[in-house]
Structure 1
């Protein structure tokens, strides 16, 4: 099969299309052989490519956590799927297990969800990591409740654009930061109630004005760096802030402590890194629920760019530019 191999840590040019052996057909277990149609591109992919994977002794490796495709064969113990079923999932790509920049992969049925019927494989492949991240950050780390006010940073981004929609589905009121009029129009179409142009406006003051000086109930940081600790005064006393980035060593915690904020750290890769199979099954359950919402037209996945498999390096260059709206996808076959 054709696959994009990461031959070493480094620039996007280390991603090379090569012929590699097909995965073994599952026999006597709960695994699925999936013919991949599309693979999502995420910032974690570029970080692993530039710094090295979590398992550097296993290079060369195939990156790509997100995949969507068609079940080709099933193990003897598989209960939920059969050949021909369309699926999507977030599995592999961290160095230990094959990722999805390839024509085929093998994944346990417990970690797979049925692809939403109403969207393309490209849209489905773009969805898993960002949906799970936003779901866990808002619903589990942030304990979002109906009627609460939420500040979501970078609402036009991959995680941000689904976070806006998940917050609205929960019954929250949403404010979000963007960098352009085009992105403002985009997030308003997703349901954002209040838009902050962070390049021209102090987002903290804007959030306080929006909440009559009280602060938001929950802030969701998808940017990191200074944005994380600068957000502390925008959150109400005893409120929540969740970040998907590791707090900087120079983070000033004084305001967070004074306001008695509850700090949430969200890393949806934890189950894969620690081998937590029940949590990986929970991820599949999240994707099943989101698939229902997608097919009910309550949730949308925005794909801004599509690249053929052989142009994975160009896709990495684009996502590293930092100006992408929505998601980027690799197209592996024509289905």
Structure 2
């Protein structure tokens, strides 16, 4: 099969297309999937620059998100049959083959039936960002439907995670404000249901959030940016509110405001089940993907794919992602 090999740590040109042996089913509960598309995520570029989680196993195939067609099944597979269309987040960290390839294997427990209404490219864009936003809002911040709509601030609402988070928050009845970097991104976020867009380059997002909530602060801040934005967000959260981040806080962060306001601070890393081998959590993530398929098929959720590249153009896809200018997701068509 053809696959993209990460041959070393470095710039996008370390990603090289090559012919390698086809993977084969190794356990009775595995399925062999002919991949039709793979999602591109910031974790891919970070691994390319910093190295995989098992650097001794090189070259590596990146790509956590995949969508394709079941081509063969193990003897004990009961969830899928040959010809089924599936999507999943699995591999790509250097521990298991990723999805920048024509074929892959995956345990049936970790895959879900693809939403019927989505193309393979759209489906491949979904898993990592959906699971990240779902776990951050619903599990970490415990966002629930309530008689009084909670107020949520989502940073970078036009990004991959952010644009899904806006929709998930609205599904639970929340009022949503979001930071954006351009008028085009503001229009996009409003089209997804954002009640207020904050042009962070020209406005103080804390002041805007405080004014929006009549001086109280938002119930939840979901940070997808990291760096100084984490600390800057503390005063935007109401007393005893929640802040969830998908990034590691800077070493010099001051927690004084967060402590004074009794904030609950949570981390969200949807890759934890894969990294630590927590099978039960991976199964739960597959259940979320199954549940979400119905949301896509009934029009309650949308995924936005801004660019589709061919497998051989993976370097260009990484270069675009690293500019930070893309709206929604970037995908590789296989």
Name the TM tier (shorter chain). Answer: over 0.9
Counterpart CA distance in 2 for 1:172 and 1:231 is: 19
User: 1:226 and 2:228 equivalent?
Assistant: yes
| Deviation of the 1:179 alpha carbon | 0.9
- Secondary structure of the residue aligned to 2:76 is coil
Q: Which residue of 2 aligns with 1:23?
A: 23
Residue ranges of structure 2 left out of the alignment (5+ in a row): none
The C-alpha deviation readout for 1:272-300, integer Å capped at 9, x for no partner, is 00000000001101111111100000000
User: For the residues of structure 2 that align with 1:322 and 1:196, how far apart are their CA atoms?
Assistant: 18
Aligned counterpart, 2:105: 106
The offset of 1:171, in angstroms, is 1.0
Equivalent residue number for residue 3 of structure 1: 3
The residue that corresponds to 2:12 in the other structure is 12
Shift of 1:145: 2.2
- When normalised by structure 2's length, the TM-score is 0.98
Correspondence list, 1:109-148, <5 A: 109-146=108-145, 147-148=149-150
TM alignment of 1:1-335, pairs within 5 A: 1-25=1-25, 29-146=28-145, 147-332=149-334
Residue 84 of structure 1 and its aligned partner are, at CA, apart by 0.3
RMSD: 0.7
Report SS of the residue matched to 1:249. Answer: coil
Deviations 1:58-102 (A, max 9, x none): 010100000000000000100110000000000000001000000
SS of corresponding position for 1:223: coil
Q: Distance in 2 between matches of 1:55 and 1:15?
A: 17
- What are the superposed Cα offsets for residues 171-217 of structure 1, whole Å, 9 maximum, x if unpaired? 11100010111111101110001111101100000000000000000
**Structure 1, unaligned runs of 5 or more:** none
Cα shift at 1:322: 1.0
**2-side partners of 1:302 and 1:327: how far apart?**
6
3-state DSSP class of the match of 1:77? coil
Cα distance in 2 for residues equivalent to 1:242 and 1:226? 14
Q: Secondary structure at the match of 1:56?
A: coil
Offset of residue 317 of structure 1:
0.5
Q: Distance in 2 between matches of 1:253 and 1:323?
A: 31
Distance apart, 1:8 and its partner CA: 0.6
Instruction: Give SS of 2:56's match.
Output: helix
Whole-Å Cα distance in 1 between the matches of residues 130 and 70 of structure 2? 22
- Partner deviation per Cα, 1:302-334 (whole Å, 9 max, x = no partner): 0000000001011000000111110000000xx
Distance 1:290 1:173 in 2: 21
- State the TM-score, normalizing by the size of structure 1: 0.98
Equivalents in 2 of 1:18, 1:198: separation in Å?
A: 43
